[in-house]
Amino acid sequence: MARGDDKRRPAPRRGSGSSDRKLPWDRDPWEEPRAAKRTQSRPQARRPAGKRPAAGKRPAGNARRPARGRPAARRGAGRMLRSSRRRLARLGSPVRRINAGMLVVAFILTLFAGRLVQLQGLDAEELSLQAAKQRARTNVLYAERGTITDRYGQPLALSVDAKDVYVDPTKVPAKPGQLSDGTEVPSKQQAAKALAPILGKAEDEVYDLLTSERRFVYLAKQLDPQKYRQAQQLGIPTLGADPNPKRVYPNGQLAASTLGYVGAEGKGLGGVEYSQNKTLAGRNGKQVVEIGRSGQVIPAASDDMREAVPGKNVQLTLDNEIQWAAQKAIEAQVKKTQAESGTAIVMNPKTGELLALATAPGFDPADLNSGGSAGLGNPAVSDVYEPGSTNKVITAAAALEHTKMQPHSEVVVPGSLRRYDKTFHDDVPHGTWHLTLSGVLAKSSNIGIDLVSERVGGKQLYQSLRDFGFGQRTGVGLPGESRGILPQPEDWSGTQRYTIPFGQGVSVNALQMASVYGAIANDGVRVPPTVIAGEQREGKRVVSSGTAKQMRRMLEGVTGTHGTAQKAQIQGYRVAGKTGTAQRADPDCGCYRGYTSSFVGMAPADDPKLVAQVVLQGPKRGHFGGEVAAPVFHDVMSFALQHEQVKPTGTKTPKIRVWSRR
């Protein structure tokens, strides 16, 4: 065949020694691409078997000479075979790769199967409980708080329906939309703007709640049901409410210091609301409800419920109308005299029942933020003061009870009295007075009562003060009551021995002093005061009935022509009582600054049905008890006597002998 012919020469036959080797054209299919490439890149010279080139003649070009005794084709095939094996070793056999992949898949499926068995078999109950907890929500079923009423059943504090409004912020869209039924759904911003005036909150505050990442937030607590219905009409998704009764006080500030108030959790935090909280509160219940994916409550999905037990009502001894009269009178006088505070008390001396316990300034227990926290307590039981001349009644009673003195016994009162390192004076300069014991009270003489106390003695005076309730709580049933200050006789200084008889150096609260005069009005038996109706208080005799009657006659001289409390007189009734004008102790300077003005009395004097106490702290316009406190007593006692239908006894006021000689 011609040399230039393109036909390929037949391949030489295999030698006997090459029967177990693959030639290039016998290679496996997956080896073909790379083998062909290598073959084409390095062509080999071929010649017919058995013929060798002539000596001295070599192939032209770059053709390499085959190794001796080894055909060139076989050497090329061997190289390709070794290269193929190296690639197989590097890449791995396809069968091995398939088997490894199947093992991996089988392992993963085994893991899934094991986890499935664990979830559905071993941990199914626990996981089910966890899922139920995630879907469940516990609602508090608030117990209805008991009502507080006055002695005639008029409500002073009660609970009304209210709602705690909640929402799932994640269900409120960021942009306005529309439900499948065509209901418009507001965006978070639109909802905040519409809700703010309904809830009484700032728009930014509501928006912050609606953009919370939590699934449940309260938008408002104790919202009026009518306002909640307005909120429902806005179409806000998942908006709902739980019942939570709201405490209201229908008479506003009336008796607020006695009633007290409740906190955000519905617990009493002051006054009767606090002291009677266990009775009023009842017991809250609970209900577990299931929440759907859209935040809605699934009805009847759970039967886990504990019913709330409502609280019981509490009836007070207060009379709504007498309380109103006392509060209006003391508020007006505090304003008129520019006093820091004032207290007015009306009490039944035979039972200890308080018909009025008014303080000023007051506060609205339903809106504590409106008046600050200054008036949240009850100064009638918590504020102590030096009683001043109202304390002279105890010194005089001790003289009648434990010495031979009588109401007409003479007491010579000089213009001044030097005892230890102090010189004592009366409130008005005078020469020597010749007074009776009754006259000492009528003129409210400090020097005179000091001279009387010397006859009584320090230890007996201390015991009389204890018997009348000094240094101990009355047990009225109101929180924050102070016991006052009554030092032991051995702790009295030389001058204190002479200030205590006229009410300086000891301290009481207003209710303690009202209780002292209650004992005089009740023929010498002191019945502890109470504000809770139905409480039976056992009385204690502190002086004899005869001493008490003598004291009432002597105290009538205080409101008589020669007394210091003529403004306490009530037309048609006999009135007995005592004024008090005491210096106020100022802890800031450790000195006396300002005055405590008071009057405490009873009517009718010959058969007392009511006792009233009036105290003004720090009045700026006038400070004598007969000038600023006695008029309030007149107004309050006049109203109370008429309201209680107490008829005048018809007896004439006896002549009280003030001067032992003229």
From the candidates 159, 257, 275, 389, give the one annotated as an active-site residue: 389
Question: Are residues 180 and 265 located together in one domain of the fold?
Answer: no
Question: Are residues 530 and 575 located together in one domain of the fold?
Answer: yes
pLDDT surpasses 60 at 449: yes
With b meaning 16 or more CB within 10 Å and e meaning fewer, what string describes 122-149? eeeeeeeeeeeeeeebebbbbbbbbbbb
User: In terms of DSSP H, where are the helices of 200-313?
Assistant: 203-210, 225-232, 256-259, 271-275, 277-281
Q: Is 92 part of a structural domain of the chain?
A: no
Question: Are residues 410 and 523 located together in one domain of the fold?
Answer: yes
Going by pLDDT thresholds of 50, 70 and 90, the confidence category of residue 110 is: confident
Residues 2-12 pLDDT 10s: 444 444 454 44
Query: How far is it, in rounded angstroms, from Cα 18 to Cα 504?
Result: 137
pLDDT surpasses 90 at 409: yes
**Domain's final residue, options 214, 244, 274:** 244
Question: Are residues 293 and 426 located together in one domain of the fold?
Answer: no
Query: How far is it, in rounded angstroms, from Cα 624 to Cα 565?
Result: 10
Q: What is the mean pLDDT of residues 533-559?
A: 95
Question: Are residues 425 and 347 located together in one domain of the fold?
Answer: yes
Q: What is the pLDDT of residue 134?
A: 58
Q: Is 131 part of a structural domain of the chain?
A: no
pLDDT surpasses 80 at 75: no
User: In terms of DSSP H, where are the helices of 357-436?
Assistant: 379-382, 392-402
Burial of 83: CB neighbours in 10 Å, binned 0-12, 13-18, 19+: middle
As a whole number, the mean pLDDT across the chain is: 85
Question: Are residues 309 and 438 located together in one domain of the fold?
Answer: no
Domain range spanning residue 257? 136-158+252-316
Q: What is the pLDDT of residue 653?
A: 82
CB-facing half-sphere around the CA of 649: CA atoms within 13 A: 14
Question: Are residues 357 and 492 located together in one domain of the fold?
Answer: yes
Going by pLDDT thresholds of 50, 70 and 90, the confidence category of residue 14 is: very low
- Least confident range from 38-52, 323-337, 498-512: namely 38-52
Query: How far is it, in rounded angstroms, from Cα 514 to Cα 578?
Result: 11
Q: What is the mean pLDDT of residues 418-442?
A: 94
pTM equals 0.76
pLDDT surpasses 70 at 73: no
**Domain's final residue, options 221, 244, 267:** 244
Q: What is the mean pLDDT of residues 488-505?
A: 95
pLDDT surpasses 70 at 30: no
Q: How many separate domains does the chain show?
A: 3
Could you write out the DSSP letters of every residue in 120-152?
IIISHHHHHHHHHHHHEEEEEEPPPPPPEE-TT
Q: What is the pLDDT of residue 202?
A: 96
Q: Is 99 part of a structural domain of the chain?
A: no
Q: What is the mean pLDDT of residues 420-448?
A: 95
Q: What is the mean pLDDT of residues 170-183?
A: 84
Q: What is the pLDDT of residue 596?
A: 96
Which of the pair, 77 or 280, is modelled with greater confidence? 280
Q: Is 619 part of a structural domain of the chain?
A: yes
Q: For residue 352, give the 3-state DSSP assignment.
A: coil
User: Any idea what the CATH number is for the domain that residue 331 is in?
Assistant: 3.40.710.10
Placement of tokens 């006789």 in the chain: 489
Which of the pair, 630 or 33, is modelled with greater confidence? 630
Annotation says 389 is catalytic: yes
Going by pLDDT thresholds of 50, 70 and 90, the confidence category of residue 306 is: confident
Contacts of 258 (CB under 8 A, 6+ apart): 271, 272, 316, 318, 357, 378, 478, 531
Question: Are residues 511 and 544 located together in one domain of the fold?
Answer: yes
Question: Are residues 288 and 418 located together in one domain of the fold?
Answer: no
Q: Is 72 part of a structural domain of the chain?
A: no
Q: Is 447 part of a structural domain of the chain?
A: yes
**Domain's final residue, options 244, 266, 281:** 244
Going by pLDDT thresholds of 50, 70 and 90, the confidence category of residue 133 is: low
Q: What is the pLDDT of residue 370?
A: 67
User: Any idea what the CATH number is for the domain that residue 148 is in?
Assistant: 3.90.1310.10
Q: Is 209 part of a structural domain of the chain?
A: yes
Closest CA to 407 of 419, 392, 394, 397: 397
Question: Are residues 403 and 308 located together in one domain of the fold?
Answer: no
Going by pLDDT thresholds of 50, 70 and 90, the confidence category of residue 400 is: very high
pLDDT surpasses 90 at 464: yes
Question: Are residues 289 and 401 located together in one domain of the fold?
Answer: no
Q: What is the pLDDT of residue 94?
A: 75
Query: How far is it, in rounded angstroms, from Cα 426 to Cα 626?
Result: 15
Q: Fill in the amino acid letter for 389.
A: S
- Structural contact between residues 354 and 336, judged by C-beta atoms closer than 8 angstroms: no
Q: What is the mean pLDDT of residues 616-634?
A: 96
pLDDT surpasses 60 at 122: no
Give the single-character DSSP code of 7: S
Q: What is the pLDDT of residue 125?
A: 60
Residues 371-382 pLDDT 10s: 555 567 899 999
Going by pLDDT thresholds of 50, 70 and 90, the confidence category of residue 607 is: very high
pLDDT surpasses 50 at 461: yes
Burial of 489: CB neighbours in 10 Å, binned 0-12, 13-18, 19+: middle
- Least confident range from 100-104, 147-151, 152-156: namely 100-104
Q: Is 292 part of a structural domain of the chain?
A: yes
Residues 228-274 pLDDT 10s: 999 999 999 999 998 889 999 999 999 999 999 998 788 999 999 99
Question: Are residues 622 and 583 located together in one domain of the fold?
Answer: yes
Residues 187-206 pLDDT 10s: 999 999 999 999 999 999 99
